[in-house]
Amino acid sequence: MLDEYAHDASHSTRALVAEALDERRVEIADDIVTRLRKGHDLTASPLIVRTLVHTLAKSLADGSPDPVVHWARMVRHAHSVVAVTAMIDSACAAAEELAHSFHGDLATIVVFLEIAKARSHAATTDEPAVTGDAAGHAAIQGLLAMLRARDDATCSHSQATGEWARRIAQRLGLPPAMTERTVRAGVLHDVGKIRVPDAILFKDGALAAPEWEVMKRHAESGAEILSQIPTLAQYAPIVIAHHERVDGLGYPYGLRGEEISLESRVVSVADSFHAMVSDRPYRQAFSYGEAIAILSEGAGSQWDAEVTRAMISLAAEDRNRSTDANLAPVDQAFYADLVAIPTLGDSKAV
């Protein structure tokens, strides 16, 4: 299903930037040489820098940082570490500037360039290459940094969703690998909001129907971004389904029940609960009691019943530990039998 929504490589921002880099490699290389001389007091051969620009274009087109890493290892024998890293950083900066001019998928480009820089820098030193889990962590941090620059509240919500997802997964007794995969998908679930226009993302009131359709596409956008980053692609199927509902009334596919992965069902509950207990531009935060009531009503229809029970249990425990005198202990019977209802009204509530 994800392939339906993936950009064709020939039309993606990455492909466009790669093509522009290669076509303008002489001009860009000359500019990089000038920058190195003025900014770093380094002398670099225009011919060597042209090979770097061409190599970076190939890396972007292939979706792999390996060509840049190989270039770094090759020229390291003739240039200092400082010179090699400065050339790579300058070339990546030029590529990012081109991405800005295309007004396209900047998130994917920036994260890819950060990975390419980290791995090529390691290749010029005695540091171990940034691969596997370390590369994935670096890519996640890069995306979170971009999300924070766009909207700090969304970034904070994403991190909190990951933590709630961890607690739910542990309460359910999920295997460690599945738990970690769910946590990371929770942290990344809203990365597609990078593409949502400010007028919609920060609107104070309820969204009009056309605006809501744009907002709903953030799940697909997030999956597209992640699918183009090799170390994060495994989280794309979870992210694209985090607004599916077990009754089939969710989006983007209208999946039902176990057609939705367990990881997505966990992220959905964690996302919804934290959204409910957080202030939003269009409403104040719900109390834990109010959020527990909404979760209880929606278990089995909007959310997976077993996952919802785990979330309600955790929320009730936290509420009962609260020192707030206005929060009375939760009656265990309150959430023992969960009621399923078809809808929860305004979709912006969660």
Whether pLDDT at 57 is above 90: yes
Q: What is the pLDDT of residues 91-100, one digit of tens each?
A: 999 998 888 7
Residues 71 and 166 in one domain: no
pTM of the model: 0.68
**Does residue 146 fall inside a structural domain?**
no
Within-domain flag for 263 = yes
Does residue 296 form part of some domain? yes
Range of the domain at 331: 152-349
Query: How far is the C-alpha of 13 from the C-alpha of 11, rounded, in Å?
Result: 7
Residues 30-53 have a mean pLDDT of 90
Shared domain for 18 and 125, answered yes or no, is: yes
Same-domain pairing of 114 and 248: no
Helix-, strand-, coil-residue percentages of the chain, each rounded to 5: 70, 0, 30
pLDDT, tens digit (0-9, with 9 covering 90-100), for 91-145: 999 998 888 777 666 777 877 887 888 888 888 875 555 555 666 777 787 788 7
In a shared domain, residues 162 and 308: yes
> Total structural domains in the chain?
2
Whether 4 has a pLDDT exceeding 80, the answer reads: no
Can you give the pLDDT at residue 211? 93
Is residue 321 located within the same domain as residue 178?
Answer: yes
For the ranges 187-191, 198-202, 238-242, 305-309, the lowest mean pLDDT is seen at 198-202
CATH code: domain of residue 170:
1.10.3210.10
What secondary structure letter does DSSP report for 175? Answer: -
Across the range 211-218, mean pLDDT stands at 94
- Please report the beta strands in the chain, taking only residues with DSSP state E, as ranges in sequence order: none
118 and 163 within one domain? no
Mean pLDDT across the chain: 83
Q: Is residue 266 part of a domain?
A: yes
Task: Give the C-alpha separation, 7 to 127, whole Å.
Answer: 35
Stated as kind and residue range, the H or E segment containing 234 is none
Do 212 and 73 share a structural domain?
no
- Burial tier of 42 (Cβ tally within 10 Å: 0-12, 13-18, 19+): middle
40 and 88 in a single domain? The answer is: yes
